[in-house]
Structure 1
Amino acid sequence: MKLSPKMKKALDDQVTLEASASNSYLAMASWCEVTGYQGAANYFYAQSDEERTHMLKLVHFLNALGAVATIPAIKAPVSSYKSLEGLIKSALKNEQIVTAAIHKMVEIAQKEKDHSTYAFLEWFVNEQVQEETKFETILQKFDLLGRDKLGINEIDKYLATQAAKPQTDPTA
């Protein structure tokens, strides 16, 4: 199967987005760890690993088609935040950007009648629903539990429980 140049570029761009997301979550984890949010740090270390796995899924797909994935250089992520809530809002914005890019690829696949790539991308569409929902749920906790030290401590504990859950398997 041969990919169109437009689809190849979109998939390569997605590799870059996933690599950037992994690095962003790594920087967030580091900030959380230094700031004393160990539960959030563990959560974002796991998120970083998950995004890297998403990137590898794309790389393997491209390579399986003989399209040779382009491995990008990426810019350094933001590494300082004013608050845990601000960090979570930033993570949600990142996921919304990824979702928009995936939807764009789906539209390209539909337009080009590229059924194989369309089928491959279905997993990412479903994954993004979960990703955005996770961060929206965390943000709701600030309204439910509060933004004082006790509320933030409870949110950190909640994130620790989420970090301990097995991540979705992108190869499934």
Structure 2
Amino acid sequence: MRLSDDMIKALNEQIVMESEAASFYLYMASWCEVSGHDGASEFFYNQSDEERMHMLKIVHYINRLGTIADISTIREPPKNLTSLEEIVRTSLENEQKVTKSIHEIITLAEKERDRRTFDFMQWFVKEQIEEEDTVDRVLQKFDVIGRDKLAINEIDKYMKSLSGSGSEPA
């Protein structure tokens, strides 16, 4: 099966988006590590690894269908973040952009009757639901327990508890 030129373009753009997310999470992890938020740092290092895995999943998919994936240059992550809450909020916004992009690929797959890509992208839909829910729960903690130093410490601990699997512990 050959992918359409439009689908190849969309999937290559998704590769860039996943790569940028990995880079952005790596920067977030570094910022948290230097700022003393060890739990959040571990969480974001794991998120960076996950995003890279997502990127590779798409690269392998394109390659298996006989097209060389286009590995383009990515944008540098924003470096003007000042608080853990801002980082988590920015993370949620990024996840929402990724979700929107995935939905656009699925819409294209439906339009082109490309069932193979449609089925392949379903894993990403489920993953994005989990990603957005996890980050949204972290963000809600700021409203529930506060923004003072003790609250930030508790949120950091909570993020550490999420860092193993990217989902809330049982």
Tell me which interval the TM-score lies in, with the shorter structure as reference length: over 0.9
Whether the 8 Å CA contact 1:28–1:41 is kept in 2: the answer is: yes
* Residue in 1 that maps onto 2:7: 7
Whether the 8 Å CA contact 1:59–1:69 is kept in 2: the answer is: yes
Instruction: Determine the C-alpha separation between the residues in 2 that align with 1:144 and 1:124.
Output: 30
* Residue in 2 that maps onto 1:18: 18
Return the offset for 1:80.
Answer: 3.6
Question: Aligned letter for 2:133?
Answer: T
Whether the 8 Å CA contact 2:95–2:132 is kept in 1: the answer is: yes
Return the offset for 1:79.
Answer: 2.6
* Residue in 1 that maps onto 2:119: 119
TM-score (norm 1): 0.95
Return the offset for 1:119.
Answer: 0.3
What runs of 5+ residues in structure 1 fail to find an aligned partner? none
Return the offset for 1:167.
Answer: 5.1
* Residue in 2 that maps onto 1:162: 162
- Aligned residue for 1:75, secondary structure, equals coil
Whether the 8 Å CA contact 2:19–2:52 is kept in 1: the answer is: yes
Whether the 8 Å CA contact 1:31–1:79 is kept in 2: the answer is: no
Instruction: Determine the C-alpha separation between the residues in 2 that align with 1:135 and 1:27.
Output: 17
Query: Number of paired residues?
Result: 167
Q: State percent identity of aligned pairs.
A: 50
What runs of 5+ residues in structure 2 fail to find an aligned partner? none
Instruction: Determine the C-alpha separation between the residues in 2 that align with 1:76 and 1:136.
Output: 24
Give runs of ≥4 in structure 1 deviating > 6 Å: none
- Aligned residue for 1:21, secondary structure, equals helix
Return the offset for 1:166.
Answer: 3.0
